Structure 1
Amino acid sequence: MSTTKFIDTTPELFDFKQRRDRATKILTYLGEITVNGHPETLGRAKPAADARKPVAPKLKVDTRRWAPGNCLRNRVRRRWRTGCSRSKSS
């Protein structure tokens, strides 16, 4: 048999902290800035329309390493097979 005496005699269980609702505050702030602009930039001159667009740097990617079928599992299996065959023949 169980009782609910603990719940009845402990009113602190129902004293909840007030929610801070940070996510809504951040979304409201971002929406305000997006629509109306940042208050510190009001009155500033806008950048020139002929300004260069940024160019992302080109990265060298080893296509052999990331080719389909060359995942870590397959590479470990290949290395294990070659290592085992060497040790048997020695």
Structure 2
Amino acid sequence: MESRVEGKNRPEWVKWAIRIILGYVLLLAVILAVTIIAILITFTFIIIDSFSDTSTLGAVSEQYFVPISEFMWNLFTWLVPGL
């Protein structure tokens, strides 16, 4: 009895093109997620500082999270053509 394994054989370049495109989209999603998380942490620290009348969390966010979010956003806009 013959097996029905033959089916549709896609060319190898199509498989690799799909893998590369999905990898690119995944990279963009991770970069954008890290950027959004860093911005949310920054805003949360600023709001906590405004209620607690201190400036330590704001200083921490300005020192660490603002440069990270700026770098990641610049990387995202560099990787997306037309932005």
Larger CA Rg, structure 1 vs 2: 1
Q: Taking structure 1 as the reference length, what is the TM-score of the superposition?
A: 0.28
Structure showing the higher helix proportion among its residues: 2
Q: Structure 2-normalised TM-score?
A: 0.30
